[in-house]
Structure formats: C-alpha cells, structure tokens
Amino acid sequence: MMARRGERKTRTRASVPARAEAAPESVGVRVFLEERRGHTTRHSIDPSVYQCTALAAQLADEWLKMTRFMGLRDGGSDYSSAVRSFAKFTDRHLSERGLTPADARLDGHIVDLVEVLYAWEGDLRQTYGLRSKQPYRRTRALLALIGQRAAARPGVPEKLRLRAQGPASYRKPTPQPLDEFSNADRLALRDAARAAVRAMEERLARGRELLAAGTDPRAGGWRDLSNLVWATRMQMVDAQTLERRLPAKKQWWPPAVLELMLAGEGQSRRPGVRVLGEELGRLLFPDEADLQAFRILLLLGMADTTPEELHDLHLDDIEFTDGGLRLVQTKMRAERIRADLHPDVDLGGGEGPEFTGGGAWDVPGLVRRLLAATALIREVFDPPSWLFVAVKRQVTDGTLTAGIARFKDRRYCFGYWISAQRDARGRPLEVSEPHEVRRLRKTAKVVRAVVLGGTVSDLAGDDHHVEVYRGHYAHGTTAHITAGRAINRSQEWVFQRLAQKPVLVDESAEERLEEPEVAEHLGMSVEVAKAMRAGELDMGLTNCRNPYDSPQRADNKLCHVAPAMCMLCPNAVIFFSQLPRLLLLSDHIERMRAALPPPKWQAVFGKQRAALEMVFSECADRLPAARQQIAELGIRLDLPLGQRTEFDR
C-alpha cells in the first residue's frame, strides 16, 4: 500500500548495542596462604582500603602471581609491603596535588605513575634513612611487579614500561657484615647452654618422679603436687580447674605447690593459677627456652648447618648409625639436599645412665638428649614430627599445647635467653652484641678455619661456594687475626734469611785491616781497607766499602741515603769506635717510637732497629764503655737536617 501525500511512515531501525564499558578492576581481598613448619600464615592485600583502588588491585594481582609462580617462602613479603607502601603514598601524593587517586592505573594515561614512582622513592629514602635497605628492596620489588604486568598485558604506557626495566634510583647500601663471637663469648655461651641443659634434665627427672608417685586427683585430692603432675600428664589441668580445686588464697596452698608457683614468679607480675599451670607443664615437658640451649650447642658444633636447616629437621631426617649420627638437611636457598655424618666423639663422658652412646656434648649426644627430653611431648600431644617440638601454655584458658619451637616470641628469642643466663659467679652473662643467632654459625665456621687451615676452597666446605665464604665468613675478626699472624710469621721467616746487617770489625781485625788476607775475608780490597782506616769512607754512622755501589740506586753515583739506611746496607762496615754513634741512633729510633704511629714507625725504623739489635748482641760487653764515652766526650748524633725533619714529622 502506497503512502498518501504528506504521510510519513515510521521506520523501525535495528537497535545498536550499547558500547561496552571497561570492566572495573575487582576490589576483592587478595589472599595467599603459606604453609610453613606445620603452621598456616595468611598474607593479604585489600585494595578497597586505598583511594587508588584499581592501581592497588592490579599490583595485588601481580603480587599473587609472583608469589605463587616463584614459590616464595615468606608469602612475598617484600612485594606485598611494596604494594601497600606505594598505594598509601599514591593516595596522599595525588590528593596533595589536586589529582584524583582513583584515576591511577597501570594501564592508564591520566596519572603519570613514573613521576609518582620517583616521588615515592624519595619519600622512602627520607623515612628509612641513608643506611636502610628498605628503599632499595621495595623499589626493586615494585618495579618487578610493574615489569611483569607490562610483559603479560598490553596497555602499560611506554614510559612506565621503560622505568620498570631500569634500576632503583638509590643503590643498595653496603651492609656491615655480622662478625663472629669472640672465643670468650663462644665459651661463655657454650658453658651457659650446657648448664641450662643440665638444669632442664634435673627438672624433668624430678617431674618423672612426681608423675610416678601421683594418682588421679579426683580420688587422691587436688592439693598433692604429685597428683597435679599426674593430672597435667593426662591433660586434665587448665586455669578454670585449678581455680575451682585449689583454695582461693595462695597462702592456703600446700607448701610444695606454692613453692612451684613462686618458681615462675619472675615471668608474671601477678603469679597465680596460670603460672602454676605453666610450671606444672615445665616439670614434664621442655619449653622453647629449654630448646634454645640445644639450638646453641648444635649450631656451635655443626659448622655446615644453618639455623633454618636445623629448625627444618624431621625425625625422618635423623638416623643413628654405628659411627655416629646421619642428618639429611635441606638448604632451601641453594635448593640442595645433602646428608652429613656426625661421628661420635667423646667430649667428657655421659651425664646420666639414660643417655648412652658417644659423648654427651657432641652432635649425636645432643640429639639423643633432645629426643629423650621431648619423648613425653610426642607421647602425650602427638605433635608433627619436627625435631624441635615444645609445649606452651595458651593465654585464653591456660591449657597446654605442643608445636614446633619457633624462637620468635620475646621470652624465647636468642637475645632474651642470653639476658636470663648467669655465669659461674652468678653475674649476668656478658656477650657482645648484636645477639644474633646467625653469629653462631659464623663462629663455628671461623673455628673450623682456625683448626683446619688450608686454602679458601678447603675452608668453604661443601655447603656453599668459595665466593660466598669470602663474602660472608672470611671477613671475621678471628680469621683476619689468624691470617695476619700467618703473614707475619712468613715475613719474619723471609726477613731472617734476607736481612742484611753491617759487618762488625773488632779492634784486632781493624789493626790488620790492610793485610790482604784480612781485607779479602771482609770482602774488600786492600786499597778500600786503607781508605777505610784513614776515615775516607766514613759515612757518619758506619764505613762503606763503596759509596758509589749503593744498592739503593743503579746509576753509579754517590749514595744518597747515607747514613739513614746504612744499617740495612751490605756495604756497611762498623768499627768499635763507632759504637757510641750507633747507640745514639738507637736512642733516636726509640724516641721516634713515641712520636710516630706504630705502623709508620715499623715501616721507617723497624728493620733498622732489628739490625742494630743484631750488632749490639755481638758486642754486648762493649756497650757500657760506649755509653760512658758518650757522657764523657759529649758525643752527638750527626744526621742531615732534612732527614731529622722527615723523621720528626
């Protein structure tokens, strides 16, 4: 049907789909769960807490990807810390400049993130200081995340892509490496740890006796200490139970129970049933403070074992053989698994009939004692099969639980353990700081170097490379002292064989100096001997066979260092009449000892002093007469003015 004039037909148009908007970045919490030594740690980043939500979400995604793909042990803490720090700074930085933080994106062009990065690095530098490694570590971590994003997804601006490929603006500061413990510190730590092990074993022995004598307190009564120990073994003791079963006032408690509670008084400002519950547990089970002593002794005795390798030992990694102890150790950073054999060595005999085998303080003996101390823990609580398992009290209800010893709690860390120890005289243990457990391994390495000697490749062992040993262990003070002593001994050996001293001519030989046989025996011609007797070759302190044949120069010109270097010259000849001047030179050298730093004095006068001592040893009976001659005749030491000035500077 045709349309009439003036009539318009409505045309139905096909609908055009709306332009798809870019989906906003998800703002959900990014979570990474890390399983480590039987414990689950939760690491998370919540982008919604930042105004630059999209930027934080993109960086958090890259953190998760980096952590999962690389299998980082600590949940990628460097990367997650960098993301949080940068997102927080971006919010503040953009808001102060009138910009919207929500516009910041890795694939956006509204906000110049390169400028924000440079400002963030400067802020880190001011916050942490010049010597901190945090600015470098966080910058490198954030640049790695941005670089990973740029390589996997398009849209990252070229300027930001190039910045991610570059280095951090501030270099990594050179750290001061940890020094090993001195030998005195090592012995103090060893003796304190041994005393702590003995005290723990005595405490556990008393607990086993009480356990054997105890009965069920529901029938035998809750006021008997042995019954309380029995109930602790059966996991019947908690704070509520002790509060109900014991008198309300502590002075009404039985003396043995009150004494046990007061033993832990120093651990709490208000000792009571909670402290009592903990002390009951310590009668049967070792805690982390007890295991700290084993840790110290094992690290001092195992030069090839790191603290991490020691903590990661399972019971399956331990095998006792006829020759000692075989340990299978895993070095995570080097991705190496190795088996080390520690032979039985008798270092003083056993400490009790229950500990049989090799020495009580060697590595096999210590592991035997540690297994014996923790045997009841494994029987009662059935913890994971770690070597270092300890019992601790729960803060909420006072119950006892078992798990791997972490040595991170303030009461159980290495520094707190040292502060709690006493020496043989009852005084606080004095050990140089920092109280860092890694110094124990360095100490064991240095002791091994001192005992074994040899080349660096021999000292490095099979647990790391030569360059690692040079960078982390060869810098130790003990190693430097040992190396210095070795160098000094070798130099002394060479100097004794190469040292030159003047020829000392006594009076009888001086009178016959012009005879050909005597002159030839002294290594000079008759003409030189005549000139020497006439005083023509007197150089001020000594005579000289030939001043134009000086070992100090090769141009056949007159010697230019006489008389300062005559005592080190093979051409020098000394008559007894010159002894007073040599004594004055010796006195001058001794005065210079007080005026010059020891290294400079040794370099300028050390060899001359040694040569003078050798000459004086050959004519010791003549020295008193020479001293008297100096006093009577007023003899003075004649040295050139320039040499006196140089020496006295």
Tell whether the model's pLDDT for residue 467 goes beyond 70.
no
Asked if the structure places residue 55 within a domain, the reply is yes
What pLDDT band is residue 647 in, cutting at 50, 70 and 90? Answer: very low
Asked if the structure places residue 103 within a domain, the reply is yes
Mean pLDDT of all residues in 381-396: 84
Please tell me whether residues 154 and 244 are part of one structural domain: no
Domain end point (choices 102, 131, 165):
165
Asked if the structure places residue 170 within a domain, the reply is no
* 518 touches 510 (CB < 8 A): no
Please tell me whether residues 37 and 147 are part of one structural domain: yes
What pLDDT band is residue 200 in, cutting at 50, 70 and 90? Answer: very high
Q: What is the mean pLDDT of the chain?
A: 78
Tell whether the model's pLDDT for residue 354 goes beyond 50.
no
Cα-based distances in Å from 506 to 501, 536, 537: 15, 19, 17
Distance CA 78, CA 578 (A): 75
What pLDDT band is residue 204 in, cutting at 50, 70 and 90? Answer: very high
pLDDT of residue 490: 61
Please tell me whether residues 455 and 317 are part of one structural domain: no
* Site of tokens 């903990």: 278
Distance CA 406, CA 649 (A): 59
Asked if the structure places residue 173 within a domain, the reply is no
Tell whether the model's pLDDT for residue 628 goes beyond 50.
yes
Tell whether the model's pLDDT for residue 588 goes beyond 90.
no
Summarised one tens digit per residue, pLDDT across range 470-489 is 555 555 666 666 666 666 66
Instruction: Give the side-chain half-sphere CA count within 13 A for 25.
Output: 24
DSSP state of 300: H
pLDDT of residue 352: 42
615 Cβ contact partners less than 8 Å away, ≥ 6 residues apart: 501, 502, 504, 567, 574, 582
Asked if the structure places residue 177 within a domain, the reply is no
Distance CA 547, CA 571 (A): 8
Looking at mean pLDDT, say which of 84-98, 437-451, 506-520, 552-566 comes out highest.
Answer: 84-98
Summarised one tens digit per residue, pLDDT across range 390-415 is 888 877 777 888 888 888 888 888 88
Tell whether the model's pLDDT for residue 59 goes beyond 90.
yes
Tell whether the model's pLDDT for residue 14 goes beyond 60.
no
Summarised one tens digit per residue, pLDDT across range 297-320 is 998 888 777 788 888 888 888 888
The pLDDT > 70 percentage for the chain reads: 80
Asked if the structure places residue 298 within a domain, the reply is yes
Query: For 45-61, b where at least 16 C-beta lie within 10 A, e where not — what string?
Result: bbbeebbbbbbbbbbbb
What pLDDT band is residue 543 in, cutting at 50, 70 and 90? Answer: confident
What pLDDT band is residue 356 in, cutting at 50, 70 and 90? Answer: very low
pLDDT of residue 85: 93
Virtual CA dihedral for 117, 122, 125, 130, nearest 10 degrees? 130
Higher-pLDDT residue of 219 and 521 is 219
Alpha helices (H) along 97-224: 113-128, 134-152, 158-165, 183-213, 217-220
Please tell me whether residues 44 and 134 are part of one structural domain: yes
Please tell me whether residues 78 and 216 are part of one structural domain: no
Structure tokens at 38: 């039987």
Instruction: Give the side-chain half-sphere CA count within 13 A for 293.
Output: 24
Looking at mean pLDDT, say which of 176-185, 292-301, 458-467, 480-489 comes out highest.
Answer: 292-301
Please tell me whether residues 552 and 603 are part of one structural domain: yes
Give the H/E segment covering residue 544: strand 543-544
Please tell me whether residues 291 and 193 are part of one structural domain: yes
Count Cβ atoms below 10 Å from residue 379 Cβ, excluding itself.
9
Number of domains comprising the chain: 4
Higher-pLDDT residue of 649 and 558 is 558
Asked if the structure places residue 487 within a domain, the reply is yes
Count Cβ atoms below 10 Å from residue 444 Cβ, excluding itself.
22
Please tell me whether residues 88 and 155 are part of one structural domain: yes
As a whole number of Å, the CA-based R_g of the chain is: 40
What pLDDT band is residue 567 in, cutting at 50, 70 and 90? Answer: confident
pLDDT of residue 52: 93
Please tell me whether residues 64 and 206 are part of one structural domain: no
Please tell me whether residues 403 and 450 are part of one structural domain: no
What pLDDT band is residue 337 in, cutting at 50, 70 and 90? Answer: confident
Domain end point (choices 363, 385, 420):
420
Give the structural domain span for 563. 503-507+546-648
pLDDT of residue 478: 62
Domain end point (choices 136, 165, 194):
165
* Site of tokens 């210095």: 484
Distance CA 60, CA 184 (A): 49
Higher-pLDDT residue of 447 and 100 is 100
Asked if the structure places residue 2 within a domain, the reply is no
* 574 touches 503 (CB < 8 A): yes
Distance CA 330, CA 343 (A): 20
Please tell me whether residues 376 and 456 are part of one structural domain: no
Mean pLDDT of all residues in 428-448: 79
* Site of tokens 């080190």: 568
Tell whether the model's pLDDT for residue 347 goes beyond 60.
no
Please tell me whether residues 70 and 194 are part of one structural domain: no
pLDDT of residue 5: 56
Distance CA 313, CA 302 (A): 14
